Structure 1
Amino acid sequence: MKLIRQELLSGERALFNSNDLEIVDTTFEEGESPLKESTNIILKDSVFKWKYPLWYCDVIKVSNTALLETARSGIWYTNKIEINDSIIDAPKTFRRSNDIVLNNVLLTNADETLWNCKDIKLNKVNAKGNYFGMNSKDVYVDNLQLSGDYAFDGVSNIEVHNSKLLSKDAFWNCENVKVYNSVIIGEYLGWNSKNVTFVNCTIESLQGLCYIENLVLENCKILNSELLFEYTTANAEVITVIDSVKNPSGGIIQAKGIDELILDDTKIDVSKTTFVLEETA
């Protein structure tokens, strides 16, 4: 493997179509697509300052490296990439890429990041930006701190652990969602989704958990949340009092209590939902 150390590289496609490189302490200055169509690249302690640094690449390992804001749309159509202990200050990173691993990565400007990707593993990731993870598949998340609306819209097969999401309209249009030991705060959680499970979670969501087919809640807290479960089929075990429930489609809703229960028999078949409340149990 050829070593490139402490270089200052500029110009379009500076290392285009490279193979078997270890790049250390190197800065990529102005110039698009410096490593486009490259394979088997190790990057350490380096900086990208311009657009499209890693397009159409395969087998990339990155550590202690920075993508500045101007390195936008940085990693598209790339397969098998691992990034460790790094900072990405650029939006629209990762698009139509596969086999992505991020460990201890800070994404300060994560708008439209991780779109249409597959086989994603996120561990100790801190991200701020809207439309994070849209239309991606086969996602495993542990210890994600995310601030940004419309997170994981259209995702299928996602498992989330030990995370905190501040996100309006999270998990819309999804299928096969499992969230464990996490906090989710934001309006309209989970609409138009199928097979959604929350276990040991804390949820705050105005008009959340509506229009869901097969919602499961196990040992969850729901706080400061109104008009829940509208047109949702649910098997819900809630260990707090729910502020209000409106027109669920069916299932069992178990809670310490429900302050306001809205059931309109012109909209739903009221008999299809069973309520088990602590004060009457």
Structure 2
Amino acid sequence: MKRYENERFGQERALYMTRSALIRNCRFEGEEDGESALKESKYLTVEYCFFDLRYPFWHVEGLHLRDSEMTPNCRAALWYDRDITIERCNLHGIKAVRECKNVSLRDCDIDSPEFGWHSKNVHLSGGKMTSEYAFLGSDGVQLDGVDFRGKYSFQYAKGVRLKNCVLNTKDAFWHTKGARAEDCIINGEYLGWYSEGLTLVRCHIKGTQPLCYCKDLTLIDCTMEGCDLAFEYSDVHATVKSTIDSVKNPRSGRIEAQGFGEVIEGNSVYPVRCKLVTKQ
């Protein structure tokens, strides 16, 4: 195995097409302003490194990256990669992950708009994440114990799985298919519009006009706070362990709650056949 330790790399494609290497305590920076330092590389272990240049890991296969930092200058860091593990890293450049497959991130600090687009099997556990338009069009995204902030998350994604997360977001889960969240706190308006097969289990939901225009929507033992004008034109089966501020023209199904502050009916485009049940 090749070893690179305590070196600085600033030139274009500095370690292009590297195979089976350990890269430790190196800095990718400098006036040369070179891009794509490790493009087309395979089977890398990278640890305690600093990245301040663009596009370091493109078309990389078999990367274990840990205890490293990517600055805001490290734009579009990981694109078209597969079989990637990232642990205890700071990823602070825009568009950090795109069109990747089989990516695992553990206890990372992510501040990256447009993170995780069009990727498959991206798993995050622990850590915190700030991103607008995160995971657009991705498939098989899993988050466990992640503190997430950012608007327009998970749009057009498939097979999303969330557990024990805190989401401070807006317009989340729009047009998703088969998404499921368990034991999460979801703060944000306009949740889940136009989704198909969205399931929320023991979640606390907060924000105006949630869950409208949904197909095959399921809520199991959730609570809702500040949720007015909920479920408009949705096909829904819900058990809610709180009062719902207001419900407007749910299209079909059954909603069971501890109470309904207001039920808004009439002036509907579709026939409204949803059953509302009050149960303490």
> What is the correspondence of 1:199-278 to structure 2 with a 5 Å cutoff?
199-264=201-266, 266-270=268-272, 272-278=273-279
Deviation at 1:144, TM superposition (A): 1.3
- Pairing of 1:49-64 with structure 2 (within 5 A): 49-64=52-67
Structure 1 segments of 4 or more deviating over 4 A?
none
Matches within 5 A, 1:32-71: 32-71=35-74
Map Cα deviations across residues 210-264 of structure 1 (whole Å, 9 max, x no partner): 0100111011000011000001011100001100000101000000000110111
AA partner of residue 6 (structure 2): Q
Write the letter of the residue equivalent to 2:58.
W
Which of the pair is proportionally richer in strand? 1
Tell me the distance in 2 between the aligned counterparts of 1:160 and 1:20: 34
Q: Tell me by how many angstroms 1:141 deviates.
A: 1.2
The question of whether the paired residues in 1 share the 8 Å contact of 2:105 and 2:124 is answered with yes
Query: Are residues 266 and 121 of structure 1, via their aligned partners in 2, closer, same or farther at CA, if it must alter by over 3 Å?
Result: closer
1:170 and 2:145 aligned: no
Q: Distance in 1 between matches of 2:77 and 2:212?
A: 36
Letter in 1 for 2:206: E
Structure 2 unpaired stretches of 5+: none
CA apart distance, 1:268? 3.1
The alignment status of 1:7 with 2:7, answered yes or no, reads yes
Say whether the 8 Å CA contact 2:249–2:268 is kept in structure 1.
Answer: no
Deviation at 1:129, TM superposition (A): 2.0
CA distance in structure 2 between the partners assigned to 1:136 and 1:266 by the alignment: 34
TM-superposed deviation, 1:269:
2.3
User: Per-residue deviation at 1:74?
Assistant: 0.7
- 1:42 deviates by 0.4
Identity %: 31
Q: Which residue of 2 aligns with 1:85?
A: 88
Alpha carbons 1:38, 1:58 under 8 Å: kept: yes
Tell me the CA shift for residue 166 of structure 1.
0.6
User: Are the counterparts in 1 of residues 235 and 251 from structure 2 also a CA contact under 8 Å?
Assistant: yes
Provide the aligned C-alpha RMSD in A.
1.0
Shift in Å, 1:139: 1.3
Give the deviation of 1:63 after TM superposition. 0.6
| Number of aligned residue pairs | 277
Q: Which amino acid aligns with 2:200?
A: F
- Residue 142 of structure 1 is matched in structure 2 by 144
Normalising by structure 1, we get a TM-score of: 0.97
- How far apart, CA to CA, are the structure 2 residues paired with 1:125 and 1:184? 17
- Asked whether the equivalents of residues 17 and 37 of structure 1 are also in contact (C-alpha less than 8 Å), the reply is yes
Q: Secondary structure at the match of 2:54?
A: coil
Answer yes or no: is the 8 Å Cα contact 1:248–1:268 preserved in 2: no
- How many Å separate the matches in 1 of 2:47 and 2:232? 50
Deviations, residues 60-83 of structure 1 (Å, cap 9, x unaligned): 000101111101111101111110
Residue pair 1:247, 1:267 contacting (<8 A) in 2 also: no
Does the CA-based 8 Å contact 2:156-2:174 persist in structure 1?
yes
TM-score normalised by structure 2 residue count: 0.97
* In structure 2, distance between residues paired with 1:25 and 1:115: 30
The alignment status of 1:107 with 2:110, answered yes or no, reads yes
Letter in 1 for 2:96: T
Measure, in 2, the Cα distance between the counterparts of 1:129 and 1:155.
Answer: 15
Correspondence 1:185 to 2:212? no
Contact in 2 for aligned 1:58/1:80 (Cα 8 Å): yes
Output aligned runs, 1:149-160, within 5 Å.
149-160=151-162
User: Would the aligned equivalents of 1:215 and 1:234 in 2 still touch at CA under 8 Å?
Assistant: yes
Q: Distance in 2 between matches of 1:170 and 1:252?
A: 23
* Cα distance in structure 1, aligned partners of 2:238 and 2:159: 21
Cα deviation, residue 265, structure 1: 6.4
Q: SS of 2:80's equivalent? A: coil
- Secondary structure of residue in 2 paired with 1:138: coil
